[in-house]
Amino acid sequence: MNLSQGVRFMLLASFVFVLMKVFVKYIPHIPAIEIILFRAIISLGISFYFLKKQRVNIWGNNKPILIARGISGAIALMLYFSLLQEIPLATASTLQYLAPIFTAVIGIFLVGEKVRKVQWFFFGLSFIGILVIQGFDARISNTHLLVGISASVFMGLAYNFIRKLKTNEHPLVIIFYFPLVILPVAAIWTSFVWVQPEGWDWLYLILVGLTTQVAQFFMTKAYQKEELSKISILSYISIIYSLLFGYLLFDETFNLVTYLGMGLVLLGVVLNVIWKTRADLKVG
């Protein structure tokens, strides 16, 4: 099968993002904020190097929105990493897929986007799926559900701030502000909860940062090489990677009803992407 370069990049990005989640799960004894501190240091260093190499102003043009994007993204990451350490990999990934829904809803207020009646139906399907997962998987508590939804809300907020920036900022500047904002907070917080990494912990902490940067690079390249309508849905293939890694590495299995719940979440999100893409093409 001959896959286009954009499709290959997106498949690779999705795979590497799941690897990042695997490395986080390998160090459950390390506080989430400490993992984020290492990730921020690595991301800040790499982003700074390439910004200077390309002679781009690292501070950007719209500092308030860049900072707001950094704060909302930082909160989302802290919530998601803490969740990832406590529940099955595939379930955490599924909860993360609520982010596009909140992106659309928040977009009504921040960027003036419209949500059609049929889209609310798709959103409803996804939320029913989440309730099914929580109700039939004893490993998922109400607290886990609340943390997962909250993480997706802040992800949606961060995506909307990126939309408001549009083409006014270099992509690397947007990426740079995330670790820039979270680093001082993570450093202070970590000083109170520090757990000394030992042995393989150091490698996993470094790999969390590196895989994040690599995944972001390939995802950006994918969107540059291919039409959004063709590759956006491919990111959801990561649920397959998550199920496989969860089973092979962490012995995670689910009952049939939980799989049904995951399917409903994905169905709602994918139907919304397909409908929105077709609607945009008609308008265009």
Q: What are the pLDDT digits (tens) for 153-198? A: 998 898 888 778 766 777 788 888 888 998 998 999 999 999 999 9
Instruction: List all residues 6 or more positions away from 233 whose beta carbon is below 8 Å from its beta carbon.
Output: 270, 273, 274
**10 Å Cβ neighbour count for 52?**
10
Please state, in angstroms and rounded to a whole number, the distance separating the CA atoms of residues 80 and 65. 22
Confidence of residue 30 (pLDDT cuts 50, 70, 90): very high
Residue pair 65/104 in contact by the 8 Å Cβ criterion = no
Please state, in angstroms and rounded to a whole number, the distance separating the CA atoms of residues 78 and 2. 39
pLDDT attached to residue 24: 93
pLDDT at 235 over 80: no
pLDDT in tens, 34-80: 999 999 999 899 989 988 999 888 898 888 998 998 899 889 988 99
Instruction: List all residues 6 or more positions away from 278 whose beta carbon is below 8 Å from its beta carbon.
Output: none
Enter the pTM of the model: 0.84
Highest mean pLDDT among 110-114, 213-217, 260-264: 260-264
Q: Which residue has the tokens 């802290």?
A: 78
